[in-house]
Structure 1
Amino acid sequence: MTLLPGLRGSGADRSDALRVAGRTLSAEALLGCANAVADRIRGARAVAVEAEPHLETMVGIVGAVQAGVPVVPLPPGAEAAERHRILRESRADVLLGPTTCDATLPLVPVDLRDRSWATHPDPLPASDAVILYTGGVGGLSRGVRISHRAIAADLDLLAAAWRWSAEDVLVQGAPLFRAYGLVVGLLGALRVGSRFVHLDRHATAGPPGTIYLALPRQWARIAGDAARARTLSRARMLVSGDAPLAPAVGERLRVLTSHHPVEGYGTTETLVVLTGPAGAPGTPLPGVQTRVLDHTGRPVAADGDAVGELSVRSPTTFSGYADRPGSAPPADGWHPTGDLATVDPAGRHRILGPGGTGVVRCGGRHVPTGQVEEVLLAHPGVHEVAVVGAPHRTLGEQVVAYVVAAAGLTAQALVDHVGRLLSAAARPRRVHFVDELPRSAQGRVRKSLLIRRSAHAPVPDP
């Protein structure tokens, strides 16, 4: 199947189809360069690419898609052991350059002066297009095999939901080793035929766009710069993905830009399956089935309050894991996401977070850690924060916060700050000030490490 029809569609003569860090590539040049890469890697089992925000990276990714070879983006911050594990599990046998970080695989350099107009047969719809690694929040990241068919289905659903067309200019800051940056951003623009601008860390610099796609941390920086944020008022929509957007950030963006940001929810295994206004319950995309089950496997009440684990059955679902050859989703098609959620009578879902790291079960109540983190981040002295649950003798669990903060900030000030905005159960029982938060190679905070650290000392009764 043709995953990227936009390469040959109405925008095929655009001189600025792809822009990265001030460098541009026309649609014709992109197709020629990608075909040149495809010529050299065709027949490979899988191809790894350094996921740096460069034109060469994106040409390599498109070349792999054209050749029908699964592409494995390597996180730039990954340590050598993590890189070798990813390469081994994904069975990559070619590395797209330039790079000197790994000498164990044949290197295929990407030269933007190369051109080829050879045609390649369309890959089978069920064949793998990408192998993306999960965030590694609760342990080792896992390689997720995603087919051409699943990506095409998700992008077509998002294009319809967001009225995304070839006339749009997508400006994004999401990293290329995550689903939002690679699948929704780069491949989405090339499937729809819209112009694509990648800005890495600064999602408002550069040419004006009609759709801006960024991560919550990037939106928080943008919202803190009023002059820069106001330039986005000319956009058609603002999209936040990969994690929940803090309500305070969403509201400030609305005030500064007159746009209420849109949010999409999904996992690496499902791609984006819910969408809606940021901070509000999300609605499943057409063709996506969901169910929220309690610990006995029965559906919870659709009252917007009962909590259970969200499962998804969708044409966007993954094909299996790279570390388990031959593995596949359950035969009935239902994939348990591991996220706790509620569902209201209208079928809208509120995502609370992962059952092990995203929710603190305190005295029979479910306290979303993301909600507490949002409130703490709203304090001007807080730079970064991670909230987890620690054992409590009578309540089961209690909130503990790890905070990177400005000098002079006290734990009591943060406890009082949370207490003014949230329930008593959400107030941190302990606040640990740290120099930095532990992160995975994918940039996600490793809450599993913080949970183990907190578990050594059960929180006593007051």
Structure 2
Amino acid sequence: MDLLGDPAGRAEDAPDAVRVDGRGLSRAELLARAAAVAAEIGGAEAVAVHATATVETVVAVVGGILAGVPVVPLPPDSGPAERDHILGDSKARLLMAARDAFDPAAGGPPLVPVDDLPSASSAPAPQPPPGAATALVLYTSGTTGAPKGVLISRAAIAAGLDALAEAWDWTAGDVLVHGLPLFHVHGLVLGVLGALRTGSPLVHTGRPRPAAYAAAAERHGGSLFFGVPTVWSRVCDDPASARALRGARLLVSGSAALPVPVFDRLAELTGHRPVERYGMTETLITVSARAGGDRRPGHVGTPLPGVRTRVVAEDGSPVPCDGETPGELQVRAPMLFSGYLGRPEATAAAYTPDGWFRTGDIAAIGPDGWHRIVGRASTDLIKSGGYRIGAGEVENALLAHPAVREAAVVGTPHADLGEQVTAYVVADGATGPELIDFVAERLSAHKRPRVVHLVGALPRNAMGKVVKTRLAEIPTETNSPEAASPETA
């Protein structure tokens, strides 16, 4: 399975097939350096990559693919406990990094200094051995326990990238621009392997700064831009940089829900209604808006080719596809993971008896197949007074207030209602009662927050997602009206 695509018709020596933080490699140079890595690591059970945003990370990952050795991206900012867990659990026998990028004193397997290896000759790049199935072992965030290794096969990556290329009209004529971390699906699978498979040059900006995106548009002809909601929010806060993206072909947002006000502002400044898509580590991308179709704020599109989805209630019964009723989203697709490394029980539990993957996400599907993600079942489905309330809907209502910059909504215990809607809000000058009334004017009364905590910032992870399990740790100023009766809840 050739994940890197067919180079026929491409200029192998064209400059900067991959450019990371100002350093470029032609495709031929990349393959030559990766072939040297493949020769060094061939036969290993698994290899880790100190996944900094550098050319060396790209070379190391491609080298693992050429060798047919599973690659384990190691977040460069991981603490000792997380690093030791990932290295030990994955049984990575070698650690690849630039010589000066990783301190051997930190411990772990022997270091392979990617930048010290001489490039291979012009001979054909090695082919993975027969039976090489797993390309990547990506670790979950560990919010419900120790991070689990997700086995991503070569076939799943190929199926996922080809489906996206079709959905987004993604070709070798594009120039992909992003500055996302290279240890997640978004930045690594889509943002590196996707570019290599389609043949589109990649410009990685090192970090996803608005000015860097604008510069890539102007200097390198960037046509396809990837970002998470935090990136696009910052682009909107920099109108000059946003307007520099008017010449792009497609802006793609993922890894978390894009707030509707950010969607609207981005469309206003850039002239592009962004494409949203949905996926997770275990599924890659399964649902997306299309380059040639509609883009709806607050929605992530329709299933990609080969993907089937359904939403079910807690008892497993079907949920009507009316665009309003939420249920757990379940998926069947060729781009699903092969299982959790060394955890057969967890793998089995992730599937229904009839073979559907349980995403753990709450969604509503409309009659036309458009999907709206409400949030995680564990944190974003609030059961209050007999009602099922999606946190995302309340968050979007809060974000529509001109003073609100960030909002996160969760359910908290309530003696009478079971759970109450509780909001954590970063706002300039607004009061809690004012925000509660603002939501009540736009949504059903039972969906309004009962309590609003005004905070200075929301806790986020490396991908910009709010970590709701840490909200209770934030110093707050609490505003709440007198509790309503159950009849008016």
Q: What TM-score do you get using the length of structure 2 for normalisation?
A: 0.86
* Shift in CA distance, 137/400, structure 1 to aligned 2, threshold 3 Å: farther
Q: Aligned partners of 1:31, 1:110: CA distance in 2, in Å?
A: 13
**Residue 283 in 1 paired to residue 302 in 2?**
yes
Q: Deviations over 1:150-192 (max 9, x none)?
A: 0000000110111111111011122211111111111000011
**Equivalent residue, structure 1, for 2:256:** 243
Q: Aligned partners of 1:380, 1:350: CA distance in 2, in Å?
A: 24
* Shift in CA distance, 6/231, structure 1 to aligned 2, threshold 3 Å: farther
How far the C-alpha of 1:245 sits from its partner, in A, is 0.7
Q: More relative contact order in 1 or in 2 (CA 8 Å, sep 6+)? A: 1
How far the C-alpha of 1:402 sits from its partner, in A, is 2.9
Q: Aligned partners of 1:100, 1:351: CA distance in 2, in Å?
A: 41
* Shift in CA distance, 219/443, structure 1 to aligned 2, threshold 3 Å: closer
Q: Aligned partners of 1:413, 1:187: CA distance in 2, in Å?
A: 47
Q: Deviations over 1:62-105 (max 9, x none)?
A: 11111111111112332110111111111111111230163221
Q: Aligned partners of 1:324, 1:370: CA distance in 2, in Å?
A: 32
How far the C-alpha of 1:416 sits from its partner, in A, is 4.3
**Equivalent residue, structure 2, for 1:53:** 53
Q: Aligned partners of 2:52, 2:474: CA distance in 1, in Å?
A: 33
How far the C-alpha of 1:328 sits from its partner, in A, is 4.5
How far the C-alpha of 1:195 sits from its partner, in A, is 0.3
Contact 2:65 2:128 in 1 (8 A): no
**Residue 348 in 1 paired to residue 340 in 2?**
no
Q: Aligned partners of 1:427, 1:325: CA distance in 2, in Å?
A: 42
Q: Which amino acid aligns with 1:103?
A: G
* Shift in CA distance, 439/218, structure 1 to aligned 2, threshold 3 Å: closer
Q: Which amino acid aligns with 2:288?
A: T
Q: Which amino acid aligns with 1:201?
A: P
Contact 1:138 1:446 in 2 (8 A): no
Q: Aligned partners of 1:20, 1:75: CA distance in 2, in Å?
A: 17
Contact 1:137 1:445 in 2 (8 A): no
Q: Aligned partners of 1:376, 1:51: CA distance in 2, in Å?
A: 36
**Equivalent residue, structure 1, for 2:487:** none
Q: Aligned partners of 2:434, 2:181: CA distance in 1, in Å?
A: 35
Contact 2:95 2:112 in 1 (8 A): yes
* Shift in CA distance, 108/218, structure 1 to aligned 2, threshold 3 Å: same
User: Structure 2, unaligned stretches of length 5 or more?
Assistant: 290-294, 485-489
**Equivalent residue, structure 1, for 2:97:** 97
Contact 1:72 1:130 in 2 (8 A): yes
Q: Secondary structure at the match of 2:378?
A: coil
**Equivalent residue, structure 2, for 1:154:** 160
How far the C-alpha of 1:350 sits from its partner, in A, is 1.8
**Equivalent residue, structure 2, for 1:391:** 413
Q: Secondary structure at the match of 1:56?
A: helix
**Equivalent residue, structure 2, for 1:38:** 38
User: Structure 1, unaligned stretches of length 5 or more?
Assistant: none
Q: Which amino acid aligns with 1:160?
A: E
Q: Aligned partners of 1:139, 1:290: CA distance in 2, in Å?
A: 27
**Equivalent residue, structure 1, for 2:391:** 369
Q: Which amino acid aligns with 1:188?
A: G
Contact 1:398 1:425 in 2 (8 A): no
Q: Secondary structure at the match of 2:360?
A: strand
How far the C-alpha of 1:361 sits from its partner, in A, is 2.4
Q: Deviations over 1:284-309 (max 9, x none)?
A: 11111112111221211222222221
Q: Which range is displaced more, 205-214 or 330-339?
A: 330-339
The CA RMSD measured in Å over matched residues stands at 2.8
Q: Deviations over 1:427-454 (max 9, x none)?
A: 3322334455445576643323447999
Q: Percent identity?
A: 50
1:431 to 438, 442, 452: 452
Q: Secondary structure at the match of 1:155?
A: helix
**Residue 302 in 1 paired to residue 321 in 2?**
yes
Q: What TM-score do you get using the length of structure 1 for normalisation?
A: 0.90
Contact 1:6 1:194 in 2 (8 A): no
Q: Aligned partners of 2:4, 2:252: CA distance in 1, in Å?
A: 22
Q: Which amino acid aligns with 2:113?
A: P
2:266 to 253, 260, 263: 253
Contact 1:56 1:111 in 2 (8 A): yes
How far the C-alpha of 1:318 sits from its partner, in A, is 0.2
How far the C-alpha of 1:415 sits from its partner, in A, is 3.3
Q: Aligned partners of 2:158, 2:143: CA distance in 1, in Å?
A: 27
Q: Aligned partners of 2:11, 2:443: CA distance in 1, in Å?
A: 50
Q: Which range is displaced more, 369-378 or 155-164?
A: 369-378
